[in-house]
Amino acid sequence: MGAMYVKHKRKSKAKRILLIVGIIFAILILGTGGFAYYVYHSIHKTADKVYKPLKNDKNKDLPLKKQTAPSINILLLGVDERPHDKGRSDTMIVATLNPKTQKMLMTSIPRDTRVQIPGRNGHSKINAAYAYGNEELAVETVEKIFNIDISYYVKVNMEGLRDLVDAVGGVTVNNDITWADEGFYKKGYVYKKGEIFLDGPKAIGYVRMRHKDPRGDFGRNLRQRQVIEAVLEKGMHLSSVTNMQRILNVLGDNVSTNLSFDDMKRLVTDYRGAANHITDYETKGTPKYMDGVSWVIVEDQEFQHVHDLIVNFANEK
């Protein structure tokens, strides 16, 4: 295993991939302005549209229903979903929110992690759990390998990122390497090193490139985080009802979660400070090519380490 990589980020750096739902929270907070009722009503409609409870939710004592706010784990799933192809969850992050300390731990899981998926024979890549059994099996698999409870999930279709970037009027990011597009936007188009502006189509090419980056998936995850952070930053400062509605339309078409509208309001009131104090952790593993398949091998000690990290973080006072 490589050395532990834990990085603390301030507010401007705190927004991570899949916290796209944070735009909804931010607009809820902004909804105290002159067009508060219109925005609040629109957000309520969007929240109802994206609400998709898990089958086992009815048998669970969901923590956000309790009077006292507890620490919670939310599984964030980024899926490349296309017509006639439900895709795999190529981005998987466990977000642990502690309302007592007002801190958040973001634990990333490599998509090629070799695991045993409940109900399946042999080993599979962890990102296949979603393909085999939707959000339920993705949650169950992560719960099993880390021995933790996950009450909530947020799934984002990464295809919607194009429309979301355009909805906020494009974004500016700091590209750290020069490379030519592999065809996701326009084959041969050069993304130059330095500060660059991205519209929706260019953003798709930017976040999907992997083979020309020596960091592989880790580099791609970095670019995804850059774009989502930039989208959130612009989204929280928009004051136009038209732009707000465009963003909500994109969210409604590309997000699903078992967080209800009331749950989202609870997050805003009881956990909002956690977005300013985020710790990142990347589950450590060793890339290995076995039987014609590329895997990331995570040792049992690392699974236990992540378990301890999450549980201790949740129990911190």
What was the pLDDT predicted at 63?
94
Distance in angstroms (rounded) separating the CA atoms of residues 283 and 307: 11
- pLDDT tens digits for range 204-224: 899 888 788 887 767 877 787
What was the pLDDT predicted at 236?
63
Domains of the chain, by residue range, sit at 6-315
In whole angstroms, what separates CA 21 from the centre of its chain?
9
Residue ranges of the chain with per-residue pLDDT less than 50: 1-20, 24-35
Where does 6-315 sit in CATH, by number? Answer: 3.40.630.190
What was the pLDDT predicted at 15?
38
What was the pLDDT predicted at 240?
60
What was the pLDDT predicted at 189?
95
Beta carbons of 172 and 230 less than 8 angstroms apart:
yes
Identity of the amino acid at 299: E
What was the pLDDT predicted at 34?
42
What was the pLDDT predicted at 25?
45
